[in-house]
Structure 1
Amino acid sequence: MLPRMTSQAYATDVSDAEWAIVAPYLPTPTDHGRPRLHSYRELLNAMFYIIRAGCAWRLLPHDVPNWKTVYHYWRMWRLDGTWERLHTALRERERQRMRRTAQPSAGIIDSQTTKTTGVGGTRGYDGANKVSGRKRHLLVDTLGLVLRAKVHAADLQDRAAVLL
């Protein structure tokens, strides 16, 4: 068996100060099941690498956890609401830092239509922009911090997206 390579430091790695903020919002590891080979911090570093580099999961460098493991946790945290809870906590923290209440009293909805192929999801035709693709709807607070984000087929009217 080959010795495990030591991980390099990447620009996307979480600093100690950032880790202290993020760690409490990650799920508590359980005592049952197979022992984890990688810490949550290693997994998070690999996820941030993917986000920043924009590469495919399979193209993760060899000195980080296996792509299947990283993707498993990414998906699990998406399904169990971890990412949503973390985003909410960080947004509230930023609002309080800006001397605002944690919960916003107003929001602004915006949309953007982009061209796309039919692979990977539904698409539609946005007659106003004359684009066949998908539409991204964002709800932001008065500071521009994202409250909700949804992606739909481009043929969905903006007024209908408000209800989603």
Structure 2
Amino acid sequence: MREPYFSDLSNEQRALIEPMITAWKQGRVVRSATGDSGSCDLREVMNALFYQNRMGCQWRMLPHDLSAWSAVFYYFRLWREDGLDQRIQELLRCQVREKARVSYRYTAAILDDPVLRAAACRRSPRLRA
């Protein structure tokens, strides 16, 4: 057992994300030619992804006590292709808004006249005499 990093998933966070990852993994196993479910601990993959995101390090610079960088990058790429990363992000965003009691239906933006004029000036081509 390794010492936890500050970026590791808590049990509560894991409980939110795990059903999505489990469903994704089962779908991949069904579609795979061999039916092999793999031997990688996906919680550790998630911990490594959160570490990499938080620290901004290169993939090859992930600590050795996390999953192998190549496995982490492999799952990162698959989840991006399948859209799982976006679904997890949306789930977490909804949870944060729910805890903060913010309605996710209503989002407002206020643009005043100088902001609009400045944006229009930057985008319009300049005519030369």
Structures share fold, TM-score greater than 0.5 = yes
5 Å matches for 1:28-39?
28=23, 29-30=25-26, 31=29, 32-39=34-41
Q: Which deviations, in whole Å up to 9, do the C-alpha atoms of 1:85-137 show, x marking residues without a partner? A: 11212222232333344x4223449xxxxxxxxxxxxxxxxxx8xxxxxxxxx
Give the corresponding residue for 1:21. 16
Q: Which amino acid aligns with 1:25?
A: M
Structure 1 residues 82 and 33, CA, compared in 2 at 3 Å: closer, same or farther? same
Bigger relative contact order, structure 1 or 2, given CA contacts below 8 A and separation 6+?
2
Aligned equivalents of 1:80 and 1:53: distance in 2?
25
Aligned equivalents of 1:58 and 1:108: distance in 2?
40
Cα deviation, residue 74, structure 1: 0.6
| TM-score normalised by the chain length of structure 2 | 0.68
Unmatched runs of 5 consecutive residues or more in structure 1:
1-5, 110-127, 129-155, 158-164
Aligned equivalents of 1:13 and 1:91: distance in 2?
18
| Greater share of residues in helix | 2
Q: Does 1:71 find its partner at 2:66?
A: no
Greater CA radius of gyration, 1 or 2?
Answer: 2
5 Å matches for 1:15-164?
15-28=10-23, 29-30=25-26, 31=29, 32-101=34-103, 103-108=104-109, 157=123
| Greater share of residues in strand | 1
Unmatched runs of 5 consecutive residues or more in structure 2:
111-117, 124-129
**Residue aligned with 2:98, SS:** helix
Aligned equivalents of 1:54 and 1:99: distance in 2?
30
Aligned equivalents of 2:66 and 2:108: distance in 1?
39
Q: Kindly, what percent of the aligned residue pairs are identical?
A: 34
Aligned residues: 107
Aligned CA-pair RMSD: 2.6
